[in-house]
Structure 1
Amino acid sequence: MQADSPTPTPEEAALQQRRRDLARLRRVRDRIDREYAQPLDVEALARGAHMSAGHLSREFRAAYGESPYSYLMTRRIERAMTLLRRGDLSVTEVCFEVGCSSLGTFSTRFTELVGVPPSTYRRDAASATAGMPSCVAKQVTRPVRNVGRG
């Protein structure tokens, strides 16, 4: 017969809870990375992590420096940059391909992250990365997250 394990101290219990929360946050981030083109919102992400939307947003920001929505939009913009560099899709097609439902919101966020509107990026990107391997092009054209925004 095995002896019962001792009751954890409040500090140990808090640490265990923090580890569980971090594991759930990693799963949320991984889900965003996989499903960025799907209709995701903070409520759906929170349900999947068994957290309230407010708790998820606070904990995600504390762990990663930005809100889940901001992280999702950054993933979408990174993918959009790749599609726009290819040049075979219109800006509207790219917007919907990466999971955005509003061209206005997509264009605004794209411009905030990249510094130019998507139409300008599409026009200029092909020549800027000509002859560059796609893995290098992706690295040098990655948007800088505006961490202060949510």
Structure 2
Amino acid sequence: MTPEELAHLRRARDLMDREYARPLDVPMMARAALMSPSHFARQFRTAYGETPYSYLMTRRIERAKALLRRGDLSVTEVCMAVGCTSLGSFSSRFSELVGESPSAYRARDHSATAPVPACWAKTVSRPSRFREAPS
């Protein structure tokens, strides 16, 4: 992969990081990367180890975790705020990545992590389907 292709892929990844709440699809992300949709999907997976959709959903779940920790929004409101349109799909993906349902995560006490800087908490608690769920 050339440095130019990596720069184009970063542009698409940055789009997902910024605009995660918007409806994004592979053709839109591929346009940002100046690639065809199929080439973009293959190159993205090669570069980042996951599909564009998986990366986008992980970003949405990260933001959902932060909103649920605040406790002032319902799970449905959080689902819509992060760009998901199906509560069932959102809850399934959240449970798969986090290891517990959004409702259980929201109900848990998060005061112990309050003094942790957000940049560190984000790095340590990033949802991953490759990490074991807490037991």
Shorter-chain TM-score category? Answer: 0.7 to 0.9
Normalised by the size of structure 1, how large is the TM-score?
Answer: 0.78
- Measured in 2, the distance between the counterparts of 1:23 and 1:140 equals 26
C-alpha deviations, 1:113-137, integer Å up to 9, x for none? Answer: 10001010000143553x4335254
Residue 51 to residue 107, structure 1, CA distance change in 2 (3 Å): same
Amino acid at match of 2:116: P
Normalised by the size of structure 2, how large is the TM-score?
Answer: 0.87
**Structure 1 match to 2:107:** 123
- Measured in 2, the distance between the counterparts of 1:124 and 1:96 equals 21
Find out whether 1:38 has 2:39 as its counterpart. no
Segments ≥4 residues shifted beyond 4 Å: none
- Measured in 2, the distance between the counterparts of 1:137 and 1:55 equals 34
- Measured in 1, the distance between the counterparts of 2:61 and 2:71 equals 15
- Measured in 1, the distance between the counterparts of 2:66 and 2:19 equals 17
Query: Could you tell me whether the CA contact under 8 Å between 1:84 and 1:125 is conserved in 2?
Result: no
Find the structure with the greater CA-based Rg.
1
Query: Could you tell me whether the CA contact under 8 Å between 2:8 and 2:32 is conserved in 1?
Result: no
Amino acid at match of 2:37: A
Q: SS where residue 108 of structure 2 aligns?
A: helix
Instruction: State the 1:21 CA deviation.
Output: 1.2
Query: Could you tell me whether the CA contact under 8 Å between 1:36 and 1:99 is conserved in 2?
Result: yes
Which residues of structure 1 form unaligned runs of 5+?
1-14
Find out whether 1:67 has 2:47 as its counterpart. no
